[in-house]
Amino acid sequence: MRFPSPVLRRVTAVLASALLATSALASEVNVYSARQEALIKPILDRFTEESGIKVNLITGGGDALLTRLRSEGRNSPADMLLTVDAGRLYRAREADVLQPLHSDFLKKVVPANLRDSEDYWYGLSVRARVIAYNRERVKPEELSTYEALTDPSWKGRLCIRSSGNIYNQSLVAGMIATEGADAAASWAKGIVANFARPPQGGDRDQIKAVAAGQCDVALVNSYYYGAMLQSGGEEEAAANKVALFFPNQDGRGTHVNVSGAGITRAATHVAEAKALIEFLAGEEAQHWYAERNNEYPVREDIEPSKRLQSWGEFESDSVDVTDLGRLNAEAVMIMDRANWK
């Protein structure tokens, strides 16, 4: 038997290393993300640095991405859907564009009420829907619950987004789950009666309106407030005129929702998508969500950032966020009947 020469062995070793390197570079995952690129790409880049898995990112509106996944079907290039609000995650499962992701790690670190019961998606960060109030015009002791905002004393003093906004739909769905449909309907009517102006704009616009005195209170997601405080300029100045209040602390707790992710049914890079979702539930990513995006960690063993802690501790409701999607259609009907535009 003839043995290869030392030169040939070295050439073979070099070729083998090149093939391994090529294989590593070829490892990738395609992500459809409803999160803006600036809010997610830095942590995806860290994943690539640590794993060697390239992330191909496509961003878009949550509803638009779901429509795209449905139209692409099994030919979709997407391996993973990253989106905001449990309502949209529920819709994705109902549209049959996700497949189960069985992960002992994710089941351990993501609370049961913040993930799909059959593993189709997992929450990755938590956002609270809170009351933003004008520091000069409202005293915190005047505030208590979501329901109290329907009192006639708040007539002409409330700003809020439209009924077409998924965050408001989920808030009403959460009320249906905890208080019943009749109570949710009564609340929606009371809220509409107290509008300071027709619903318009996003959550940042509600905060700006409170700061400008166009209204005294607004319902917003807490992370928008944090983002404005970090923004500099006019947005930061507006946010500094406003404070946050966490309602229903003596009852069911403040309404919370999630951003989350699942693996698409058409995925061809399943292992890579699983690794990415587990990474996003890991300690580094959970701290990053809090520090950079002003969202609460989904994990109970991770401390919120100092900024989030400065807003105070709060009790969140324990609603299974799957109910926010399951009851969405009923919530929309209630809002329509209340003439919530």
pLDDT per residue as tens, the chain (341 positions): 333 443 334 433 333 333 333 334 459 999 999 988 888 999 999 999 999 999 999 999 999 999 999 999 999 999 999 999 999 999 999 999 999 999 999 999 999 999 999 999 999 999 999 999 999 999 999 999 999 999 999 999 999 999 999 999 999 999 999 999 999 999 999 999 999 999 999 999 999 999 999 999 999 999 999 999 998 889 999 999 999 999 999 999 999 999 999 999 999 999 999 999 999 999 999 999 889 889 999 999 999 999 999 999 999 999 999 999 999 999 999 999 999 99
Give the per-residue pLDDT at 4: 41
> What's phi and psi for 260, nearest 5 deg?
-160, 180
- Collect all residues with Cβ–Cβ distance below 8 Å to 245 and sequence separation of at least 6: 130, 131, 132, 133, 140, 143
Give the per-residue pLDDT at 211: 98
Say yes or no: 201 and 330 in one domain: yes
Say yes or no: 100 and 155 in one domain: no
* Model pTM score: 0.88
Known binding residue 32? Answer is no
The beta strand positions in 43-121, using DSSP E, are 54-59, 80-84, 98-99
Say yes or no: 12 and 72 in one domain: yes
Say yes or no: 88 and 99 in one domain: yes
Say yes or no: 13 and 82 in one domain: yes
The answer to whether residue 295 is domain-embedded is yes
Pairing of the two strands 158-159 and 296-297: unpaired
Angstrom distance (rounded) from CA 6 to CA 273:
41
Say yes or no: 279 and 150 in one domain: no
How many domains does the chain divide into? 2
SS3 314: coil
Say yes or no: 116 and 14 in one domain: yes
The answer to whether residue 44 is domain-embedded is yes
For residues 220 and 207, the answer to whether their CB atoms sit within 8 Å is yes
Say yes or no: 116 and 65 in one domain: yes
Which CATH number characterizes residue 53's domain? 3.40.190.10
- Collect all residues with Cβ–Cβ distance below 8 Å to 6 and sequence separation of at least 6: none
Angstrom distance (rounded) from CA 97 to CA 80:
10
Say yes or no: 116 and 36 in one domain: yes
Structure tokens at 59: 């961003």
Cα-based angle 26, 27, 29 (whole degrees, multiple of 5): 120
Say yes or no: 236 and 221 in one domain: yes
Known binding residue 223? Answer is yes
The answer to whether residue 1 is domain-embedded is no
Say yes or no: 264 and 249 in one domain: no
- Collect all residues with Cβ–Cβ distance below 8 Å to 95 and sequence separation of at least 6: 66, 69, 70
Say yes or no: 132 and 218 in one domain: yes
DSSP state of 245: E
User: For the stretch 265-300, what's the b/e string if a residue is b when 16 or more beta carbons lie within 10 angstroms of its beta carbon?
Assistant: bbbebeebbbbbbbbbbbeebbbbbbebbbbbbbbe
Give the per-residue pLDDT at 289: 87
Supply the range of the domain harboring residue 56.
6-126+257-309
User: Measuring CA to CA, which residue among 243, 244, 217 is closest to residue 314?
Assistant: 244
